[in-house]
Amino acid sequence: MNDWDTRGSTDDDYLDPQLGSDVDDSTSGPLPSPHTEPVTFTAPTHAELFDSNTAESESSGPYVPPPNKSLYQRAPRKPRVDPPVSAGIRQGTLPSKLRDRKTAVIVGSLVVAALAVVGAGTFALTNAFPQDSTPLAEAFPETSSEVATIPPAPSTTPPPTAVTPPFCTDPSPGDIVSVTNSVGDRATGPGTIAAFEYHYYVDRDGTKVASTYDPSLQMDPAGIQPYIDKIASDTLHCTTIEPTDSPDKYRVSVALKPSNSMRIEQVDPMLISVAPGPGGWMITQIVPA
């Protein structure tokens, strides 16, 4: 048996022939005495060493056991087993303890970052709004159980435009200033003036116009009619009669408006004097104001 042979003692073990013996202890008898004639040894050939049948039939020399294969064959290599930590690192995985420690570090970092964000937000909100000493109960009073009244939605309808009053509307009826386009009458001085203007612009009749004058003036209807005919037949008129400081004398102004136009023309104001007569009030004088 050799010191480097990992197996136990076998029958294949033999002594090197150069050491003085050709057989191992298990196949030979007692060693020859020192005075015994030395044995002549013939080295086996390659075929005798590796072909046992040929060696037994052809060799007439002493028995040579087959060679020990461990002399020329390498012992089987032990499989390499890496430490658990190295294997885990090389394969991309970590042992459970290292994995748990890494997870704890990551979770702790996330918690610290979240707390930092919350603290920064609280600081920003605190500085954004002024400090108010109002108690919380006053700042947020208890809400009533009653349903709050919802104001009506604003109307989308545009406000009505100012309606223009009809032409010749008296803004202050009953006032001493009369605004009219009526037919008038002979019962009063202003009524006689209204009748005079109505005959001129509506009736368009010179005879009726002359009838409103004092007969002593002897007004000629033929001299009045040419002035009436110069005015368009669809012209509207509005007479404003205002008393003056002199009794029975009125300031009269007339506004003319064509029916198909918004344009209004003002006639030069006049001072008309009136007086009572046998048939009613009558015009005694007309002069420019």
Amino acid at 44: P
Residue with tokens 């996330």: 110
pLDDT at 225: 95
In this prediction, the residues of the chain whose per-residue pLDDT falls under 70 are 1-41, 43-44, 46-76, 81-102, 104-105, 107, 118, 121-148, 155, 158-164
pLDDT at 157: 72
Whether the CB-CB separation of 181 and 175 falls below 8 Å is answered with no
Which CATH number applies to 178-288? 3.10.450.50
Class of residue 13 by CB neighbours under 10 A (exposed 0-12, middle 13-18, buried 19+): middle
Q: How far apart are CA 180 and CA 237, in angstroms?
A: 9
Whether the CB-CB separation of 251 and 269 falls below 8 Å is answered with yes
- The domain segmentation of the chain, as residue ranges, is 1-96, 178-288
Per DSSP, the three-state class of 252 is strand
DSSP tally for the chain: helices H, then strands E = 8, 5
C-alpha Rg value of the chain to the nearest Å: 74
pLDDT at 94: 52
pLDDT at 66: 66
Could you tell me the two tokens for 138?
């006053």
Q: How many residues does the chain have?
A: 289
pTM of the model: 0.45
- For residue 242, give the H/E element and its range: strand 235-243
86-123: per-residue pLDDT in tens? 444 445 455 555 556 667 667 677 777 777 776 776 66
